[in-house]
Structure 1
Amino acid sequence: MTKAAIQFKHVQKRFGDDLVIPDLSFTISQGEFITILGTSGSGKTTTLKMVNGLLQPSAGEITIDGRPLSELDLVQLRRHMGYVVQQIGLFPHMTIAQNIAVVAQLLHWNKEQTSQRVRELLQLVQLNPREYATRYPSQLSGGQQQRVGVARALVANPPYVLFDEPFGALDALTREELQHEIKRIHESLADKTFMFVTHDINEALYLGSRVMVMHEGRIEQFATPAEIVRQPATPFVKKLLGTVRQNQELWGQQDD
């Protein structure tokens, strides 16, 4: 039986008088790659930030591995939960190896264990350790920096990795390359649960084993990419799919 990894049970989120998440319930199984798709203001990043306790729900319950988030030590939780954001946040005065090793230092790993893990992760994200370990962030391209951000998020071998629009600032070719890379990484890591926020429907459909489509703080549809394309559940989902079909029609016209 598939293990429930993350559950939201009638979760609400308010910012002052503004109710941005009215009533959110869903279950994510261990090992899934979930993409959360929505326009700006849909509540997708708010949802992601409630998973690792950066934001607290105003009502309802969130459980991680069956345990209420409210009962967990959030500092320890975050140290064992990878988090990758668009801004990356590499320390400019530290080498790539030192940037990746930040979490390992917080966990008091010894030097040998840390160095070995850094090498493993640089190889995983396809950056040659001999070439890149001693470089500084300013010496890397945006795509290379984002690979380092992914490596850093994986240091403690976390069961969960959260991605908040990590490729949004990258050019189209680099973005496509990293999409293939992050999918390969997930497939190579046993039982890791990925949650990936994006506003790009093509990215969501390509990466997700299931796609959660959000609009105005509610789930419009939560299904496999094939199910969403074949049978959109609401007019909003159908409209989103329409933007993809428009692009396909445009390219078809260019071939005439």
Structure 2
Amino acid sequence: MPKAAIQFKNVQKKFGSRTVISGLSFTINAGELVTILGSSGSGKTTTLKMVNGLLKADEGQILVDGKRLADQDIVRLRRHIGYVVQQVGLFPHMTVAENIAVVPKMLHWNGKQIKERVNELLQLVQLNPADYAGRYPCQLSGGQQQRVGVARALAVNPPYVLFDEPFGALDALTRMELQKEIKQIHQQLGDKTFLFVTHDINEALFLGQRVMVMHEGQVEQFATPSEVVNHPATAFVRDLLGTVQQNKKLWGGYHD
């Protein structure tokens, strides 16, 4: 039986008088790559931020590795949850190697350990350590910065990695390349639980072993990509899939 890694039990979140998440319940298994798909305002990023305590649930329970989030030292927990965001957030005054080493240094790793880990991670994200370790963020392309962001998130070998629309600002070709790399990295590492938020249906279906479709703070469907495509559970999911078909028809109309 799969081990539960992240569980939401009847979780609610409000901003002022507005309820953003209502009665949200789901379970993500250890080692899964789950994508959360939804339009703006669906609650997907709010859900992600509640996993590592950046936002606190107003009602219900969130469990990470079987332990209630409310009972854990959040700062300590965050050091063991990788976090990758669209803005990347690299420190501009630090080299690539120094950026990746931030959390290992906080955890008092020795210099040899840190250097070995930085080199290992740069190779994992397809950046040659000899060429990139000493560069500064301003000397990198958007795609290269995002690769460093992924490496930094993996620095202390966390069991969980959260991705908040990390490729949203990248061009289509770079985005596709990085999607393939994330999938490959997840397969290569084997035991990591990846939770990846996106508003791009193609990205969600390509990356996710399971896809959680959210709308107005609720889960419309949580199933494999094949199940979502072939058996949409609600009218909203059907409409969402319909946008892909509309785009195909649109591009099919352009020909010589």
Q: Verify same fold: TM over 0.5.
A: yes
TM-score range, shorter chain: over 0.9
Shift of the alpha carbon at 1:217?
Answer: 0.2
Counterpart of 2:220, as a letter, is E
Matched-pair identity in %: 73
Matches within 5 A, 1:148-187: 148-187=148-187
Q: Secondary structure of 2:169's match? A: coil
| TM-score, normalising length: structure 1 | 0.99
Shift of the alpha carbon at 1:255?
Answer: 5.0
Q: Secondary structure of 2:253's match? A: helix
Paired position in structure 2 for 1:221: 221
The 1-side partners of 2:20 and 2:190 are apart by 34
Counterpart of 1:87, as a letter, is Q
The 1-side partners of 2:51 and 2:230 are apart by 30
Q: Secondary structure of 1:249's match? A: helix
Q: Secondary structure of 1:254's match? A: coil
Paired position in structure 1 for 2:59: 59
The 1-side partners of 2:100 and 2:255 are apart by 46
Q: Secondary structure of 1:42's match? A: coil
| TM-score, normalising length: structure 2 | 0.99
Paired position in structure 2 for 1:89: 89
The 2-side partners of 1:134 and 1:254 are apart by 46
Paired position in structure 1 for 2:75: 75
Counterpart of 1:223, as a letter, is A
Counterpart of 2:87, as a letter, is Q
Does residue 110 of structure 2 align to residue 145 of structure 1? no
Structure 1 unaligned runs (5+)?
Answer: none
Matches within 5 A, 1:91-130: 91-130=91-130
Shift of the alpha carbon at 1:13?
Answer: 0.4
Paired position in structure 1 for 2:46: 46
Paired position in structure 1 for 2:13: 13
**1:54-96 CA distance string (max 9 Å, x none):** 0010000000111101011101110000000000011111110
Q: Secondary structure of 2:237's match? A: helix
The 2-side partners of 1:152 and 1:167 are apart by 16
Shift of the alpha carbon at 1:155?
Answer: 0.4
- How many residue pairs match? The answer is 256
The 2-side partners of 1:22 and 1:150 are apart by 31
The 2-side partners of 1:235 and 1:4 are apart by 29
The 2-side partners of 1:180 and 1:254 are apart by 28
The 1-side partners of 2:244 and 2:131 are apart by 40
Shift of the alpha carbon at 1:254?
Answer: 3.1
